[in-house]
Amino acid sequence: MKRRAAREKAFQILFQMDINEIEPAQAIEHVVEEEEVDSFLELLVHGVTEHQQAIDTKISDHLENWTLDRLASVEKVLLRIATYEMFYGAETPQGVAINEAVELANRYGDDNSGKFINGVLSKMIK
């Protein structure tokens, strides 16, 4: 599985976990079904889950006129994945993490999601 596909699956898994409050293993099984579970996919899901409190704090520190609670799940989950990739050990270049998050935001979010994601993540690297 390519990293882009793994990110998209990780987004779907973490989104499901955010909405339904289910465990990572159950969410992975539901999204991946018969496919082999990719190691990068597992790294993202478990990494975001394990570091979620620190990731959420980092995101909150860079939101203007918003709180994490007010964010739509699409934006919240994409910010968590990108923040994990950028700062918590996924060894992804920051520009790539931002670009991938913006691409997914444009696909799954509303008309302003990509710009919002780009703005928040860009503040983190300054």
> Could you tell me the CATH number of the domain that includes residue 44?
1.10.940.10
Residue 105 gets the label, from left (phi > 0), alpha (psi -120 to 50) or beta, of alpha
Which one-letter amino acid corresponds to residue 18?
A: D
Nearest-angstrom CA–CA distance, 98 and 86: 8
Nearest-angstrom CA–CA distance, 55 and 36: 28
Residue appearing with tokens 């997914």: 104
Residue appearing with tokens 């923040």: 83
Structure tokens belonging to residue 18: 């955010």
Question: pLDDT tens digits for the chain (126 residues)?
Answer: 789 999 999 999 999 999 888 888 888 887 877 677 788 989 999 999 999 999 999 999 999 888 999 999 999 999 999 999 999 976 889 999 999 999 999 999 999 999 999 999 999 988
> Are the C-beta atoms of residues 96 and 76 closer than 8 Å to each other?
no
Structure tokens belonging to residue 32: 């991946």
Which range marks the domain in which residue 51 is found?
3-125
Q: What was the pLDDT predicted at 8?
A: 94
* Beta carbons within 8 Å of 9's beta carbon, 6+ residues apart: 1, 31, 32, 38, 41
pTM for this predicted structure: 0.93
**Domain count along the chain:** 1
Q: What was the pLDDT predicted at 90?
A: 66
